[in-house]
Structure 1
């Protein structure tokens, strides 16, 4: 969990600059709550559109600090996640959730302070007749996410970091942040980015 805590200190843009293996999800997946960053290992779920049984099962098994990552087939219908599941996530200590589909009860979920990234909102009811799958590699926002991969989300979107290189990426992103602060100081002192980056004339 120490590595996960470290990632929470860095914006997704810095993480993308740190290593090409950091994979950004498509921009259609947006934050419900502005200004609230999440970071944690992925707890993965795959559902069919109109179903949500696997989400309930995954929340039941989840550990504190994990991020629920749901492959919903990029559906723009149905609300497989709402305020009751959000309450359940908060009670379990889940750090946040990422959905490649729509959700519902968005105002109530936001009022709970539970951060969700999703494709939008839709009120249509779901069933629990399809068990779906949990704790398997899934595809969300065009990116394959395996259980335990590090997920970081902020106002700019969501990135996934393969678990096996998480420590390496954390070391690299710390250097990116230091370098950016040095550049910022030079800008404040009067230099331009054109000169700092030594762009060709």
Structure 2
């Protein structure tokens, strides 16, 4: 991923990237995105972009393993996140879903992950401390709640599932208030040009629709031009 592509991806929203992937593929049907409504801790901040560092947690019940095992895995988790190559995103599957209660993402944990240089977090689980989370580290989560429950790490560096999106360690993630997606690795080199092409073709209809005298005939003319430009 080039610096210019990273800058562009942080500026555009996830629906734009979703559409641009289909432009690059030359067809509809891209489906590596989350399903359902997710919540964003900072909807006005730039999009979360980075390579996935994955883990699984649980919080409804106390851990059944010995405390020293839980502590060792916790420290291994933080070491794994701290050593992530930039840009990186924490992608955490809460195994209690859809009955998640443990807010793993609060003021302390987000500040720690931001300190590691990570771009943000994606989870089907819970976040809290809204208003106290650090700037520059957004969380896209499944819900908001007050308690951390018995939250503990179960797995590190394994495939995870978040709102129907399958994420493997190292996948390139784009996420914002709309949800998240995985950018296909074979399209990364084409994506910047695809986004620019998408912008140019959309302007054909958007510019026409905002001009005085816009009517159905002008719409049909603009739409035909739009269809030709998309090919």
TM-score range (shorter-chain normalised) is 0.7 to 0.9
Map of 1:197 onto structure 2: 223
CA distance in 1, matches of 2:80, 2:37: 24
Question: Unaligned stretches of 5+ in structure 1?
Answer: none
RMSD: 2.7
Alpha-carbon shift at residue 7 of structure 1 (Å)? 2.1
What is the count of residue pairs matched by the alignment? 196
In structure 2, relative to structure 1, the CA distance for the partners of 1:121 and 1:131 (3 Å cut) is closer
CA distance in 2, matches of 1:4, 1:48: 32
In structure 2, relative to structure 1, the CA distance for the partners of 1:70 and 1:34 (3 Å cut) is same
Larger radius of gyration: 2
Contact kept, 8 Å, 2:124 with 2:143, in 1: the verdict is no
TM-score by length of 1: 0.81
CA distance in 2, matches of 1:7, 1:157: 14
Using the TM superposition, name which of 79-88 and 153-162 deviates more. 153-162
Contact kept, 8 Å, 1:38 with 1:154, in 2: the verdict is yes
Map of 2:205 onto structure 1: 183
Question: Unaligned stretches of 5+ in structure 2?
Answer: 23-28, 64-72, 225-231
In structure 2, relative to structure 1, the CA distance for the partners of 1:180 and 1:11 (3 Å cut) is same
**Structure 2 counterparts to residues 1-201 of structure 1, below 5 A:** 1-2=1-2, 3-18=5-20, 19=22, 20-21=29-30, 23-36=32-45, 37-50=47-60, 53=74, 56-73=78-95, 74=97, 75-109=99-133, 111-127=134-150, 131-190=153-212, 191-192=214-215, 194-195=219-220, 196-198=222-224
In structure 2, relative to structure 1, the CA distance for the partners of 1:124 and 1:174 (3 Å cut) is same
CA distance in 1, matches of 2:136, 2:209: 36
Map of 2:69 onto structure 1: none
Contact kept, 8 Å, 1:80 with 1:103, in 2: the verdict is yes
